[in-house]
Amino acid sequence: MNWLGELVDLIAPALRDRLVAAVSAFRKSRRKERNRFVLRAIATEPGRLIAPLPGEVRYDLATIDRRVYIAQMNQALGDVPLFGDPIPSEHEQKYRQTVRAQRKLGLPDPRDPDRSIKIEAVLREMEDDGLLAFHPPNMWIIR
């Protein structure tokens, strides 16, 4: 693979720069979309019409994980009961397609056993982007 990079460097440095910029823009747009999805899931509170103001409420990792899970399942299944283990057969195809699209954004699968670790990694990236602030031991606040 290294020889391919050297060949591209020799042939067309401008082409290489454009390719790197295109890949970077593609990843950045997916990351932004994932961040919006997670922020929407965190700020959606049951029984409230208006989201809390940024910096007002702290959320623990378990709450964020559960809210992202609920948002993912609502997107995949709609109003089908969320915590039923077997997914109804008529919704299985839509569920698989939606989860595949969510995984392309960088969200973990709702059935993933290491889900909380992956959600925490997403939150750390969002912290690096300046969207969230971390408060030890496991509290997060929207900036």
Mean pLDDT of 104-133: 91
Chain segment 49-91, per-residue pLDDT in tens: 777 777 788 999 999 999 999 899 888 887 766 665 677 777 7
Residue 16 resides in a domain: no
Paired residues of 142 in beta bridges:
132
For the chain, the domain total comes to 1
Q: By residue range, what is the domain housing residue 137?
A: 32-142
Assign 141 to helix, strand or coil.
Answer: strand
Chain segment 14-56, per-residue pLDDT in tens: 766 676 666 666 667 888 899 999 998 988 877 777 777 777 8
Q: Which residue in the block uniquely carries the two structure tokens 């747009």?
A: 29
pLDDT of residue 63: 92
Q: How far is CA 27 from CA 1, 31, 45, 102, in A?
A: 21, 6, 29, 14
Check if the beta carbon of residue 134 is closer than 8 Å to that of residue 127.
yes
Backbone angles phi, psi at 135, to 5 degrees: -125, 115
Mean pLDDT of 112-140: 91
Residue 45 resides in a domain: yes
Residue 57 resides in a domain: yes
pLDDT of residue 50: 76
Residue 38 resides in a domain: yes
